[in-house]
Structure 1
Amino acid sequence: MNSIPINLQEKLAKFQDHWSPKVIAELNDYQFKLVKVQGDFVWHKHEDTDEVFIVIEGNLIIEFRDGKVTLKEGEMFVVPRNVEHKPYAASECKIMLVEPKGVVNTGQEQTEQTAENDVWI
């Protein structure tokens, strides 16, 4: 067992790229991922799982076909499975995602924003 706490700010300082989630921990079959986002992401959905967004720093907008939700630092939102959504951040936003192992950031879509999966920092 590792008895060293995970410091989110230290982990976030280890990378600069946007829209490329980095795994920092696992709990059963779930991964905790840190990601820096800025600008538009692609419309996508996750057919087999819900997805939680936890804003650590900044502001995040999650657009849906019929509306949007705006999250600020310290807030979280769960996007239900199979709901099409598009995250957006006007300026850099640091977030944590909690999702099952193997979830691809762009869902079923394959685009230039599709990140390598299971990258640990």
Structure 2
Amino acid sequence: MIPTLDLEAACEALTDHWSPKVVGRVNDQYVKVAKLLGQLVWHRHEAEDELFQVIRGRLRIQFEGGSEAVIGPGQVCIVPRGTMHNPVADEECWIMLVETVTTLHTGGIPTARTRSIDEQLA
């Protein structure tokens, strides 16, 4: 039997903000869930696009130059590769991410919140 994935239940199981967990894989893409609160860090992924889908709450993604995308439940924002961005959750937000398996959590910007792929797979 092919399993189904309950994204809300996967998010409920998370205990830390900004610590994505891999919940599936589609070809060379990881499907991840995360709880967010506050802001991550300005960063870019030089070679990979990144898909954010809000499950619960609201997420602002700030972009270089002053623009931003605001996404709510059921909405998606795809950040093109090479785009400087900073995710911000003014209140707790639950998201699903789809990222290439090579995508580094905070691009090339290591921070205290940076999580390795091994940590995301645990």
* Secondary structure, aligned partner of 1:96: strand
Would you say the 8 A contact 2:43–2:107 is kept in 1?
A: yes
Q: Give the gaps of 5 or more residues in structure 1.
A: none
How far residue 4 of structure 1 moved from its aligned partner, in angstroms, is 2.1
How far residue 94 of structure 1 moved from its aligned partner, in angstroms, is 0.4
How far residue 71 of structure 1 moved from its aligned partner, in angstroms, is 0.6
- The residue that corresponds to 2:103 in the other structure is 103
**Which region of structure 1 is more displaced relative to structure 2, 11-20 or 42-51?**
11-20
Paired positions, count? 120
Percent of pairs identical after alignment?
38
How far residue 117 of structure 1 moved from its aligned partner, in angstroms, is 1.4
Distance 1:95 1:78 in 2: 13
Distance 1:6 1:69 in 2: 27
Distance 1:116 1:106 in 2: 9
Letter in structure 1 aligned against 2:36: V
> 1:31-42 to 2 correspondence within 5 Å?
31-42=30-41
How far residue 120 of structure 1 moved from its aligned partner, in angstroms, is 3.3
Please state which structure has a larger fraction of its residues in helix: 2
Distance 1:30 1:77 in 2: 16
CA deviations 1:6-49 (Å, max 9, x no partner) are 11122112111011110011011111000110001100000001
Distance 1:72 1:54 in 2: 8
* Secondary structure, aligned partner of 1:103: coil
Letter in structure 1 aligned against 2:101: K
* Secondary structure, aligned partner of 1:93: strand
* Secondary structure, aligned partner of 1:99: strand
Q: Give the gaps of 5 or more residues in structure 2.
A: none
Would you say the 8 A contact 1:20–1:116 is kept in 2?
A: no
